[in-house]
Structure 1
Amino acid sequence: MFDRRTFLRGLSLLPFLRTPDLPLMAQSSAPKSSDDDLTRFVNIFIGTGGHGHTYPGATVPFGMVQLSPDTYNDGWDWCSGYHHSDASIMGFSHTHLSGTGAADMLDFLLMPGTGSAKLVPGSRENPGEGYRSRFSHADETATPGYYSVLLRDYNIRAELTATERVGMHKYTFPASDSSHFILDLAHVIGIDPKVIEWAELKVTGPDTIVGGRSINGWATGRELYFAMKFSKPFASVELFSDDKKVDGRETRGNILKLLVHYQTAAGKPIFVKTALSGVSTEGALKNLESEIPSWDFDGVRRTAHESWRKSLARIRIETKDARQREIFYTSLYHTMVAPTLFDDVDGQYRGMDGKVHQLSKGAHNYSTFSLWDTFRAAHPLYTLALADRVPDFVNCLIRMCEESPAGPPVWPLQAKETGTMTGYHSASVIAEAYVKGFSGIDFAKCYPAMRRRAMDDDYRGMPYYRKLGYIPCDKEEESCSKQVEYSYNDWAVAQIARAAGASADEKLLLQRMHNYRHLFDKSVGFIRPKLENGEWSEPFTSNEMGHSKQWRDYTESDPWQTTFTVQHDVGGYMELFGGRKAFVAKLDKLFTENSQLPPDAPPDIAGMVGQYAHGNEPCHHMAYLYCYASAPQKTQALVRRLLEMEYDNQPNGLAGNEDCGQMSAWYVMSALGFYAVDPVSGNYVFGSPLFDRAEIQLRDKTILRIEVKRTSPADVYIQSITLNGEPYDKIWFRHADIAHGGTIVFTMGGAPSPQFGKTDSTLPPGLPPAN
């Protein structure tokens, strides 16, 4: 399995550099803001520092283009191409990953300049040796759909905005006879351009360039095309291959670059439009002409802003806490930058089989599904606040099941399967949509691929899982985590089997979903590695990474974290510990144990509270497990603590990688007052609502209203709940209860309620009742 955390860490950070006495050049006019415009509460720089791995550039909700600055292109904390600690910019590329722990993208870097043109970016330590430019965060602006910065070495104001498939640049130059742009197709993540399989560049007119490339990076063999049009005819153009000038108007090779030369007048901008396509340069040209036919930068910016305004308005909150409001709407923003659109305006898209396909009218294709992360909270959030997107997302995953030679999608990126992380959680996302009753989806269509994976495929330890009931640690890496996740996948595929009418398979999978129990050792109270001969591996420690140095037994976790990753059978799992009291005692230790990790622990195990790691996704449901054991007050206090301590409105405001919206989705859901411990069940568990009032726009534009009665912000404990005006004593509810609107009223207090959630009839089920 490909581990997403293989990138270098600990690179030296630059001291802050500033060139004095440069005039600030005027920016484009900002869209008018109103009191109900929630974009004003988004701080896009949250997550660009620390290990958040987010980018600050311009995009629209779920857009194909992410036009953003690159400050460096190597090292673990530069997976998005940008880090807040840097003081110089390499240029502006058109694709970026949001918060991932593995790196790719950074396609088609464009950088303006003045003076002698350079073909290499130069180093962070000495920006002047290349085409880099120093910048200051004081000269930098980012709002949803817009980014601006002053390139201080050139005195050029750069501004960026975007539509779904097109990025638009605005560069305001000083007066110069030596103004220019470099288009660097050798710019890749990881520095080594040898990953470029092929690249092509062609000047097709006095103001237009087209091209593309194929990269053998994280997503091996992905290919992407572009069409780039300038608002001013070129004074001259130079093409380079392997940094040597080539004659003619087109070239093909590996290391390709292009220089465009201009004479510029002070304050006169040059605009650039760049469209992307996964299909062809012709597709990119169609996207360009369709989405931005004119040169109205401010109009494109207003349209992007309006798209974000409408999207963020799906959830409205009321609070007097300005910091938490900023964190909330930035989190909501981050949940809407992935998955990313991956089709052309004419409905063509490149499928996982490498072939070009045609979508039916109104349908869309997507990429960038970080499923191991996002099935936990991001996709459940979409089923509530972005329900209109769910059929497109799920139908896309179903098409991938049919088209991909790799089978059900695991971590698909631009028509390629990266195979990153354990399990195959496309099953979880598809099953959740089925259980929640979404229409317009042919769930049975994906069952053949899901069945092959569950029943037949020789896939990452699955033959052992089927034959022995467990995965031996001496035969397969990350055996413990795979064991638990395959058990959850069995539970999910059982729902899809039901949709397909495969009742015998459903019955088998519902039995097999308990396989996690084969690796639970009651003598130590942990899920631990077992050898093929049936013996436990020795020695065992509760914070180990693996039984040997050959490989890890746990995926980005240790025994403490993996032991509590069972999400679908909490009631049955609890009995393995000896019942509710023993389960609560073990959970207490999880959150209070020494946080020390061994030297070989991956950096993702972060945001530690005891041995609980909020900075990585497998832990995200664990604070809610107390509710299953008649201790909801512990959930309420702990969730509030995590909301306060694991998030901040600073660049280093995330406990770990954002991971395509999952880290933020936990905050959004938990701040509203509930969370899906088991998304496939269609149930939610109550936590501790953070805000005074919230409204969520659901399907058919119905509204779920949340009202919170408290006398103090310190009132974190639920005293009582009403649902649609009636007393509600359960500490969980079904998606069906609120799918078409409703009102939840919380009455909170400063001390735990002695009654609420303490009787058996109020506890969440380990499994939902049969339909």
Structure 2
Amino acid sequence: MISRRSFLGGASAACTVSAIRTTAFARVIPHPKSSHGANDPASLVDITIGTGGHGHCFPGAVVPFGAIQLSPDTFTDGWDWCSGYHISDTSIMGFSHTHLSGTGCGDLLDFLVMPGTGESKIVPGSRENPDEGYRSRFDHSEEHAEPGYYSVLLKDYGIHAELTATERTGLHRYTFPRDAKAKTAHIIVDLQHSYGQSNVISASLHSPAPDALAGGRVTKSWGDGREAYFTMQFSQKPTRIVYYSDDAEVPAGTEPLTGKNLKCVAFFDLTHNPVIFVKTGISGVSAESAANNLKAELPGWDFERVRRSAREKWNNQLSRISITTDNEKHRRIFYAALYHASIGPALFDDADGSYRGMDKQVHKLNPGQRNYTTFSLWDTYRATHPLYTLINAEHVPDFVNALILMAEQSPAGMPVWPLQGTETGTMTGYHSAAVMAEACNKGFTGIDYERAYKCMMKRAMVDDYRGLGYYRKMHYIPCDLEEESVSKTFEYCYDDWSIAHVARKLGHEDDAKMLADRSLNYRNYYDKQTNFARPKLANGEWAPNFNPLEMGTSKKWRDFTESNSWQTTFGIQHDAAGLIETLGGHKAFLAKLDELFDQPSTLPPDAPPDIAGLVGQYAQGNEPSHHIAYLYVYAGQPHKTQQRIRMLMETMYAALPDGLQGNEDVGQMSSWYIMSSMGFYPVDPVSGNYIFGTPLFDRVKLELGKGKQLEIVAHRSAPSDQYIQSVTFNGKPYTRSWFNHREIVDGAKIEFTLGSQPNLEFGTKTEDIPPSFKLETA
């Protein structure tokens, strides 16, 4: 498996909702006045953004980087239901405890809980006919979502459902109607419920106490052989619990149950109390560990206390960046983006430090260490992890150490797209190397870089992995021998560049030079005749039938990963100067870059839907394009970057459920907006360099940690002013169009003066243009 499309096998389901531009759900959360957000930035978050279109976001309860994502599921199949929820639906299947945020593939949805009244049913029923099963209709006007809390009225049952969460536990509050239905109150727990069809390999279910359930399951979906466990407790003791295996009732006394399709229905007499709380601990280790997590984090039943605590956690995270603006739309987009960028990576250890490794074994962390999962690395190495190095520096060592443990313990080696103790192998490259190298180059401590380097070099120099043998031997990957050959080569070039930084940091100068030189392999793909990056055959000839709009030169497989030659031609992040030279020098490069944006936005029929948000052939809706508009700066025309970036911020993001052009991708689509709106972007994140774009807000303050602060001020006469006239850095005139991480890590103040017309002098001198292909230790 390489790309997200190869996993899902098409996007027929996605097309059914792609045209829906729903606005009703956006009214669910009345947006507060800007003054309300000073001490309560959680009030500024519109969680509904990204729940429509192809955003693949869920609206439920989670704390920053938490293991639990307790959220409603409306459907469990099709591309636009990768998170289990889509705004186009009108019925809810129930509430499960784990969800993916904005991914292009689906999985998780562990341990569905659904309350009901009347006749109990053990299948969910269809969206077309909810009465077939335990589904319930709902209305978006009776749905509410805020950071750490979700509620909805289940109309078919008259039940008010509320959800909140801690890091490893979820707390439900179900208020049943005070009528005859209360005598038939029940709660269904469905262990078969999962993304896709029949993905449960094995499951277990039993009742460790009269008011509790416990069990677990092994699933084979996106993550093959993923293990998840739970312990669940009810605030009221059920009058009885009926168990089902393969949808047939099991005689009492036969538990613990094992099988592939296990469910149960717990019945309650609510005559004296119409409210039932359900609290659930989860674990990747065992049901017993899940019970320990429940005991450690949620010993009581105080729903409002847990809700307040979750909101406090979010306020702490969201207050790490404060913005000043009169534009309410921009504010809503920004704080929704910061919220989404703070959901993953997700915690994946237990309260006692145990976790399930990529070798399927149970391990124990060192005291104070934490383990994480859900690293969408092909996406997030670009801007999300650089954002964490600014506002969540305390998490960076744990993120990197988690990746090192995975690289050491996984049979697959360096992490590519790890998910809860499994390696999905999704997407090209192995960009855990970039995340490790960025932390190394930016000087983060508490990380064993020698261990990281050993893992990196094994992949770079030894592993016969997805064309790397060809890459090492031939300096390119032949398109007739390996799929997605051009994109793979470009990705390996950046990973070589990343590892070269670590090699230099550790004093391995020969390795650093070799890897840096090898990172220029991308140049072997540029055809001077067409002036495009073009697939090449094993015999060294150009592949025939080349068309820069196509995904490949043959129907056997694609030559590019979720892109075509137009986007891939500009897909170099570390050697912009070399790319400019390769494409014929500054004048020719600038003409080619303009041409990219000015092309018709047409794609062939087999283009994946990930290529979205088109401006010409530039695709804001997918990650390979995210750095491209900043390349004008390297060619001495930063004003064109300023114009393009402002246009993209204004047109590609909206304060609507379908306000994202592409998948959220565990924070990257939002991180592009966060970084760009502050006025800079990490084109080459490992280098530690940030390239100026244009600030969207009047003032931004970033809390860097340890009392340090980065302040960005934009002076302008009109809100539309977008062109940099001048810059001061800590009060001194500043002519460069970039800066390095080390210049701000101890605090800084950057002031922009913006105007309505370009300043054709700023950032155009050779000495003011950002460096590229320069190895240095920050």
Deviations 1:267-295 (A, max 9, x none): 72100000100111111000001101100
1:65 aligns with 2:71: no
Q: Which amino acid aligns with 1:370?
A: S
Q: Provide the residue aligned with 2:174 in structure 1.
A: 171
Deviations 1:457-484 (A, max 9, x none): 1100001001111000000000010011
CA contact (8 A) 2:726 2:753 kept: yes
The correspondence for 1:130, drawn from 125, 129, 133, is 133
The correspondence for 1:9, drawn from 8, 11, 18, is 11
Shift of 1:385: 1.0
User: Relative to structure 1, is the Cα distance of residues 35 and 507 closer, same or farther in structure 2, using a 3 angstrom cutoff?
Assistant: closer
Q: Which amino acid aligns with 1:592?
A: D
Aligned partner of residue 202 in structure 1, secondary structure: strand
1:599 aligns with 2:593: no
Provide the rounded CA distance (Å) in 2 between the counterparts of 1:267 and 1:381.
47
Q: Which amino acid aligns with 1:206?
A: P
Aligned partner of residue 170 in structure 2, secondary structure: strand
CA contact (8 A) 2:637 2:760 kept: no
Shift of 1:433: 0.6
1:755 aligns with 2:761: yes
Provide the rounded CA distance (Å) in 1 between the counterparts of 2:406 and 2:237.
42
Shift of 1:755: 1.5
1:225 aligns with 2:199: no
CA contact (8 A) 1:444 1:497 kept: no
1:388 aligns with 2:394: yes
1:610 aligns with 2:616: yes
1:196 aligns with 2:200: yes
Provide the rounded CA distance (Å) in 2 between the counterparts of 1:611 and 1:669.
23
Identify which range, 446-455 or 2-11, moves more after superposition.
2-11
Provide the rounded CA distance (Å) in 2 between the counterparts of 1:586 and 1:667.
25
Shift of 1:731: 0.1
CA contact (8 A) 2:355 2:371 kept: yes
User: Relative to structure 1, is the Cα distance of residues 116 and 15 closer, same or farther in structure 2, using a 3 angstrom cutoff?
Assistant: farther
Q: Provide the residue aligned with 1:236 in structure 2.
A: 240
Q: Which amino acid aligns with 1:151?
A: L
Structure 2 unaligned residues grouped into runs of 5+: 21-34
Q: Provide the residue aligned with 1:619 in structure 2.
A: 625
Provide the rounded CA distance (Å) in 2 between the counterparts of 1:408 and 1:508.
20
Q: Provide the residue aligned with 1:309 in structure 2.
A: 315
Shift of 1:504: 2.0
Provide the rounded CA distance (Å) in 1 between the counterparts of 2:364 and 2:208.
27
CA contact (8 A) 1:279 1:348 kept: yes
CA contact (8 A) 1:14 1:125 kept: no
Provide the rounded CA distance (Å) in 2 between the counterparts of 1:575 and 1:750.
32
TM-score, scaled to structure 1: 0.96
Provide the rounded CA distance (Å) in 2 between the counterparts of 1:133 and 1:462.
51
Provide the rounded CA distance (Å) in 1 between the counterparts of 2:19 and 2:658.
18
Q: Provide the residue aligned with 1:105 in structure 2.
A: 108
Provide the rounded CA distance (Å) in 1 between the counterparts of 2:420 and 2:49.
26
Q: Provide the residue aligned with 1:292 in structure 2.
A: 298
Shift of 1:450: 1.0
1:159 aligns with 2:162: yes
Shift of 1:542: 1.1
Shift of 1:34: 6.5
Q: Provide the residue aligned with 2:31 in structure 1.
A: none
CA contact (8 A) 2:450 2:506 kept: yes
1:687 aligns with 2:693: yes
Deviations 1:168-203 (A, max 9, x none): 00000013211101100010111x22x211100011
User: Relative to structure 1, is the Cα distance of residues 34 and 541 closer, same or farther in structure 2, using a 3 angstrom cutoff?
Assistant: closer
Provide the rounded CA distance (Å) in 1 between the counterparts of 2:214 and 2:648.
48
Q: Provide the residue aligned with 1:46 in structure 2.
A: 49
Provide the rounded CA distance (Å) in 2 between the counterparts of 1:662 and 1:259.
40
Deviations 1:563-590 (A, max 9, x none): 1110000011110111111111000011
Deviations 1:399-453 (A, max 9, x none): 1111111111000000110000000000000000111111111111122221111
CA contact (8 A) 1:2 1:418 kept: no
1:257 aligns with 2:259: no
Q: Which amino acid aligns with 2:97?
A: H
The correspondence for 1:56, drawn from 56, 59, 64, is 59
The correspondence for 1:562, drawn from 559, 563, 568, is 568
Q: Describe how 1:101-500 pairs up with structure 2 within 5 A.
A: 101-174=104-177, 175=179, 176-190=182-196, 192-193=197-198, 195-247=199-251, 248=253, 249-265=255-271, 268-500=274-506
Q: Provide the residue aligned with 2:736 in structure 1.
A: 730
Q: Which amino acid aligns with 2:236?
A: K
Q: Provide the residue aligned with 2:90 in structure 1.
A: 87
Identify which range, 172-181 or 647-656, moves more after superposition.
172-181
Identify which range, 656-665 or 392-401, moves more after superposition.
392-401
CA contact (8 A) 2:324 2:699 kept: yes
The correspondence for 2:659, drawn from 650, 653, 656, is 653
Shift of 1:523: 1.3
The alignment's C-alpha RMSD in Å is 1.5
Shift of 1:35: 4.1
Q: Describe how 1:668-687 pairs up with structure 2 within 5 A.
A: 668-687=674-693
Provide the rounded CA distance (Å) in 1 between the counterparts of 2:550 and 2:344.
33
Shift of 1:230: 0.4
1:721 aligns with 2:735: no
TM-score, scaled to structure 2: 0.95
Provide the rounded CA distance (Å) in 1 between the counterparts of 2:430 and 2:3.
15
Provide the rounded CA distance (Å) in 1 between the counterparts of 2:690 and 2:512.
24
User: Relative to structure 1, is the Cα distance of residues 266 and 691 closer, same or farther in structure 2, using a 3 angstrom cutoff?
Assistant: farther
Q: Which amino acid aligns with 1:53?
A: H
Q: Which amino acid aligns with 1:321?
A: N
The correspondence for 2:641, drawn from 632, 635, 638, is 635
- Identity, in percent, stands at 57
Provide the rounded CA distance (Å) in 2 between the counterparts of 1:716 and 1:575.
29
Q: Provide the residue aligned with 2:23 in structure 1.
A: none
Q: Provide the residue aligned with 1:26 in structure 2.
A: none
Aligned partner of residue 75 in structure 2, secondary structure: coil
Q: Which amino acid aligns with 1:91?
A: G
